[in-house]
Copies of this chain bind each other. A is one copy, B any other.
Amino acid sequence: MEMKKYIPADVPIGKREEFLKNFLEITNNTGRLMLFAGDQKIEHLNNDFYGDGIAEDDNSPEHLFKIAANAKISVFATQFGLITRYANLYPDVPYLIKLNSKTNIIPYSAKDPYSKQMVDMKDVIEFKNDMGINIKGVGYTVYLGSEYEREMLSEAAKIVNAAHKNAMIAVLWMYPKGKFIKDEHDPHLIAGAAGVATCLGADFAKVKVPLKNGEFKPELLKEAVQAAGNTGILCEGGKKIDEEAFLKELYEQIHIGGARGNGTGRNIHQRELNEAIKMANAIYAITCENKTLEDALKILRSQK
């Protein structure tokens, strides 16, 4: 079967069936990932959850779990601790544990970032196996070009390997940052970052949207998609924008640019529950159900 090419060689032979089942389930047999990103409570403090243009629902952390439990998603990515607070109430959500996070209090211009692993993989495995939590994978951010790059490369490589040994997928957030990064949206730099994710063994790499003269064109993704080989490229969702524009861009990222999914947070959870669920379902339709943009817009505008 063609999807077997996505089984990395560090998955033990006795776990390959489990890995493949896991991979096919979360990608709905497409090899594409709809990652619902919910790690912003540490990354951006309360800015993404409370304020103008944000639904009141969003200030409760349970909002994220309600969306994850009721919408179609591949995985809900958030911190270990947050999962522990609500997983007993939402046991069926497919979780992806984001293993590192930092606040945005210190600006990048003042200090190169190092987002450190917060929970050991042995504790993740124990949580998954002994408490029976539905954990599908793990995630980690690497800030390339930071003076602490080496710590993150080293943590990332070990995390990916440990995930694979336990039949879990590994997603790396690959973000060039620091004093020597001139343009973090440069398509060539993004392709480089994507290639690093492949060299770290990642199943998926979440990257910045490539821009040329400040504008996105799906063709700009191609260098990165190719450089990443069989590691799938996910574009980050970024700030909340117009729904239709968002879905069109997503469709083109996948069908023109070759992206293998999307990591979206604010564009989903800043809406009230029903709207958030519909937005997630529309994104999932394009990403994992091979639906057209029109199909997706219908889902978005449906009454239920």
Residues of A that sit less than 8 Å from B by CB: 4-5, 7-10, 12-13, 39, 41-42, 45-47, 49-50, 59-62, 78-89, 101-103, 105-107, 110-111, 114-120, 123, 127, 130-133, 144-145, 147, 149-151, 153-154, 156-158, 160-161, 164, 176, 178-181, 188-189, 191-193, 195-196, 198-202, 223, 226-231
Task: Using CB atoms, name the residue of chain B closest to A188.
Answer: B46
Minimal Cβ-Cβ distance residue in B for A103: B144
B195, A157: Cβ atoms closer than 8 Å: no
Q: Tell me whether B227 and A85 are in contact (CB under 8 A).
A: no
In the assembled complex, the CB of A78 is this many whole angstroms from the nearest CB of chain B, namely 7
Most B-side CB within 10 Å, residue of A132, A147, A191 = A191
Residues on B with C-beta less than 8 A from A153 are 42, 101-102, 116, 118
Whether A150 and B196, one on each chain, are in contact in the complex, defined by CB atoms closer than 8 angstroms, is: no
* Docked pose: A203 CA to B132 CA in angstroms: 21
Given A180-B106, A195-B41, A198-B41: A85 and B189 within 8 A (CB)? no
- Do the beta carbons of A200 and B81 come within 8 Å of each other? yes
Name the contact of A80 in the complex, choosing from B7, B117, B132, B161 (C-beta under 8 A): B161
Max count, chain B CB within 10 A of own CB: residue among A78, A189, A200: A200
Q: Do A120 and B223 have beta carbons less than 8 Å apart? A: no
CB-nearest residue of chain B to A7 = B88
Interface contact B147-A106, CB-CB below 8 Å: yes
Q: Are B9 and A83 in contact (CB under 8 A)?
A: yes
Cα A87 to Cα B8 with chains together (Å): 8
> Which 6 A-B pairs give the minimum distances between C-beta atoms?
A45-B192, A81-B201, A105-B145, A9-B87, A61-B229, A116-B150
* Inter-chain contact A86/B230, CB cutoff 8 Å: yes
Which of A41, A46, A181, A230 has the most chain B CB atoms inside 10 A of its CB?
A46
A108 to chain B, nearest CB (A): 12
- Whether the pair A45, B103 counts as a contact (CB closer than 8 A) is no
A-B pairs with beta carbons under 8 Å apart, 7 shown: A9-B87, A45-B191, A62-B230, A80-B161, A81-B200, A84-B160, A105-B149
What residues of B have a CB within 8 angstroms of the CB of A188 in the complex?
A: 45-47, 50
Cβ of A48 to closest chain B Cβ, rounded Å? 10
Q: Is B86 a contact of A229 with CB atoms below 8 Å? A: yes
Give the residue name and chain of the B residue nearest to A130 (CB). Answer: B12
Instruction: Provide the bound-state CA to CA distance between A43 and B220, in Å.
Output: 23
| Contact residues in B for A176 (Cβ distance below 8 Å) | 105
